[in-house]
Structure 1
């Protein structure tokens, strides 16, 4: 068995359960060195997890003013640190598609009690998808067998968020549109899923497409914040 990221050989002492049933053996794993590159997101802002001394960070205070009737709540697994940035480069931009399995255990744990929710990945433009060959969010959802609803479309190609400054991110134009009858999402619990939450602009624009049709609840999730 090899580390899914650095490809170094792994040694692992099997648990009693894994010996009795190989189904429980994690096929795609990180070595200890690679695992240490990720910093779990613990505490922080009550609404998005961003490290802050205030109960609610300045970003979320901004969104509360802009969307006063939207009771948003975001969940992320890790800080967007240097290690996560390296992982994103290899998965998203260099196309190491095996890395979609990296956080399978954590994702299964998050989604296990959300089977009645509509899981909605943030879409790519047609041009970006053709160039990259895959949608990185759909990739890690498919890795754990999550059924998702591709109900959003991206209108056109835009500069990657990582290449924009904070002001540019907040001022970008609405890039998404709803591609189904809006009445179908009324009273549904919906989870919008992205890879990284930076300012929140992308996820709030996605939510903006859904809010007029009165879903029961909109939650948001990302791998990193």
Structure 2
């Protein structure tokens, strides 16, 4: 089998241990797996940014922006946004390599239990793409990530088309109009799912709509902390 990322052949060295108990087949070679760096060390309790502060300056600004009460309870992210991860996400998300996303399944489902085990009756809502963006990419990466999780999923958000977030400055993102439309009210806690937390604007736009419609708590779970 070849590595889904670099396409090099994956060679498993045989010994008595894996001869008697064959290991689960790997989708990445050891070199690529080593470059997928998990977030570690102290992190912001609100957004998962690596910092010694319990609440980072960015989250304190968001708190002030929302008159003292952030609409997002907290975000938990799994990986750091290294240059390797940037290339990996580009292949998966922008170049339509759907199968590549399966390399995240084990870690994404495992850390979900760690981060959200105490949240009762929660519903997962993947962040939607606009119809135009979905046509370009052929799949929604957030929906794929959500499929790795065992809780109930609902697609009750839709999104208007606009300029890509990656092309906007930080201030342009923060002060942009809310692109989401809520199609159904929900009284359960919600865990929003997306691939990357950068400024937190996209997630907070969605959280604001849900909270205004009566949702008691909104959390987010992202693959990468940018």
Q: TM-score, normalised by structure 2?
A: 0.85
Structure 2 residue 153 is matched with structure 1 residue 153 = no
State the distance in 2 between where 1:18 and 1:144 align: 32
Matches within 5 A, 1:191-202: 191-202=191-202
* 1:176 corresponding residue in structure 2: 180
* 1:86 corresponding residue in structure 2: 87
Contact 1:28/1:101 (CA < 8 Å) preserved in 2? no
State the distance in 2 between where 1:65 and 1:150 align: 30
State the distance in 2 between where 1:14 and 1:108 align: 30
Residue 53 of structure 1: how far off its partner (Å): 3.8
Residue 96 of structure 1: how far off its partner (Å): 0.7
Query: C-alpha offsets along residues 143-181 of structure 1, whole Å, 9 cap, x if unaligned?
Result: 5676521110002x222222221111112110001012x
State the distance in 1 between where 2:39 and 2:217 align: 23
Contact 2:145/2:195 (CA < 8 Å) preserved in 1? no
* 1:47 corresponding residue in structure 2: 46
Structure 2 residue 126 is matched with structure 1 residue 125 = no
Count how many residue pairs are aligned between Structure 1 and Structure 2. Answer: 217
Structure 2 residue 106 is matched with structure 1 residue 101 = no
Residue 193 of structure 1: how far off its partner (Å): 0.7
Contact 1:4/1:28 (CA < 8 Å) preserved in 2? no
State the distance in 2 between where 1:49 and 1:40 align: 12
Structure 2 residue 212 is matched with structure 1 residue 212 = yes
- Give structure 1 stretches of 5+ with no counterpart: none
- Give structure 2 stretches of 5+ with no counterpart: none
Contact 1:137/1:193 (CA < 8 Å) preserved in 2? yes
Residue 7 of structure 1: how far off its partner (Å): 2.1
Which sits farther off after the overlay, 6-15 or 118-127? 6-15
Structure 2 counterpart SS, 1:99: helix
* 2:34 corresponding residue in structure 1: 36
